[in-house]
Amino acid sequence: MITGWLVKLVVSIALVGFLAVELGAPLVTRAQLDDLAHDAADNAALELLNSADVERARAVAGEILQDKDATLKEFAVDQQGRVVLTTEREARSFLLKNWSTTDSWYDVEVEVTSEKRPT
């Protein structure tokens, strides 16, 4: 009698834990990617300030993102000289990434603007 109740409790806890990890993965990935994208944009802006070479600044951002398994999707310099970049990464998923209804949740994309700009 107690064994059946205990099994239900353990299965319920495991299911809730699995769903929390599965549904939380895109949120965690977005937070990590946002931080990483800001670092890449700020470092690219510093490179742009030092060298005035947009391609070198793009390469710096790309290297930082590539080291952390992210992809540089777009790179631009706005009129104020700030770096604007878009990056993407796929969030980990065991189940929901395989369904067409929820697969887009796991393709995380972030656009950021650097804080640093030429003075």
Give a yes or no: residue 118 inside a domain.
no
Range of the domain at 42: 2-113
> Mean pLDDT across the stretch 90-113?
81
SS3 of 81, please?
coil
Give a yes or no: residue 68 inside a domain.
yes
pLDDT tens digits for range 2-49: 688 888 888 889 888 888 888 888 999 999 999 999 999 999 999 988
Task: Give the burial string for 2-30 (b: 16+ CB within 10 Å, else e).
Answer: eeeeeeeeeeeeeeeeeeeebeebbeebe
pTM of the entire predicted model: 0.78
Give a yes or no: residue 7 inside a domain.
yes
Give a yes or no: residue 55 inside a domain.
yes
Q: What single DSSP character describes residue 79?
A: T
Three-state secondary structure readout of 1-23: CHHHHHHHHHHHHHHHHHHHHHH
What's the pLDDT band for 56 if we cut at 50, 70, 90? very high
How many separate domains does the chain show?
1
Give a yes or no: residue 44 inside a domain.
yes
